[in-house]
Amino acid sequence: MLSLADLQSRVARAMTTGEREPVAARLVGGVHPDKRLDIHLRHYAASLIAVLHDKFAACAWLAGPDLVSDAALAYVHAHPPAQPCIAEYGGDFPQFLASYGRAPTMPYVESFALLEWAVGQVSIAIDLPPLSWSDIARIGSERLIESALSLQPGLRYLRSAWGVDRLMTTYLSGTEPERFVLPESDTFIEVRGARGTVHLARLDGATFTFRRELVSGSSVGAAADRALELDSTFDPGEALRLLAHTGLVTTTTTQANAS
């Protein structure tokens, strides 16, 4: 008799690989009970493919539903979920999709899929109460340089070699242009969203770098240095004021404590 551990190992392996192992002799149900187990195997793949189709609907629109379905089928076997929260599943599907089948002939697919993932993530975020410019200015310039700033949770920064933001805007608008020219150009995209709304904006390289560095936890001074490396005319003070005036800063953390 199989132990429970052995039984679950075999069934789990069959589900994640799609290749059924011989547990049939120990099953009960119908004339050929092994085929009843196939119900679970099919559900695993079908339900997760449906999840990925839902999360990457724009990619299916761009690259075709068959490509996304085929890639999703391969993905659910290569990368089974690690968490019961399916909202968290699929974060590395963009890279997987980009290398799957004929997708490599579309070099913009990975950027577009990363952008779609980011759009999905920020649309379920919530805005936190922002700090005003006077709240931030009160810290004093010396301490501010060493401070880290937390920005709104519904912010993502993506750099792409293609203007995929325009393509995404076209998809989200529901329009079907007869012809769309996707320019190959270094593009710095800010994705901002909360409570079901999403806004895409293009930034200049220095502002993008400054904000992305802040999001990754760099101090204001370090983020400004990285931006100035890219553009010596970058004005950190003005960049900070703009962040505050658009309600993007939520907390500041100095080396000594948090405010």
How many Cβ atoms sit within 10 Å of the Cβ of residue 36?
13
- C-beta of 151 vs 239, nearer to other proteins: 151
Buried b (16+ CB within 10 A) or exposed e, 175-193: eeeeeeeeeeeebbbbbbb
Among the residue ranges 65-73, 118-126, 132-140, 222-230, the one whose residues contact other proteins (CB under 8 A): 118-126
The 10 Å Cβ neighbour count of residue 198 is: 19
Which of 134, 142, 196, 257 forms a contact with other proteins (CB under 8 A)?
Answer: 196
Q: Which is nearer to other proteins, 11 or 139 (CB)?
A: 11
Candidates 17, 65, 87, 258: give the one binding other proteins (CB under 8 A).
Answer: 87
By CB under 8 A, the count of residues binding other proteins is 49
Distance between CA atoms of residues 196 and 131, nearest Å:
22
Q: Do 115 and 189 form a contact (C-beta atoms < 8 A)?
A: yes
Query: For other proteins, which is the closer residue by CB, 15 or 67?
Result: 15
Question: Across the chain, which distance is largest between two alpha carbons, in Å?
Answer: 78
Rg (CA), the chain: 24
Among 17, 19, 21, 47, binds other proteins (CB under 8 A): 47
Q: Using the minimum distance from each CB to other proteins, give the nearer residue, 15 or 239.
A: 15
Rounded distance, CA 212 to CA 156, Å?
8
Among 17, 19, 21, 43, binds other proteins (CB under 8 A): 43
Q: How far is the CB of 125 from other proteins (least distance, A)?
A: 6
Residue 176 beta carbon to other proteins: minimum distance, rounded to whole angstroms: 25
Say which amino acid occupies 29: G
Element (H, E) at 91: none
Which of these segments, 39-47, 58-66, 199-207, 230-238, binds other proteins (CB under 8 A)? Answer: 39-47
Torsion sign, CA atoms 85, 88, 92, 97: positive
Question: Which of 35, 138, 199, 245 forms a contact with other proteins (CB under 8 A)?
Answer: 35
Nearest to 123 by CA among 176, 187, 198, 230: 198
Residue 216 binds other proteins, judged by CB under 8 A: no
Q: Does 78 bind other proteins (CB under 8 A)?
A: no
> Residue from 52, 115, 125, 243 that binds other proteins (CB under 8 A)?
125
- Binding residues (CB under 8 A) for other proteins: these are 1-5, 7-9, 11-12, 15-16, 25-40, 43-44, 47-48, 80-88, 123-126, 153, 194-196
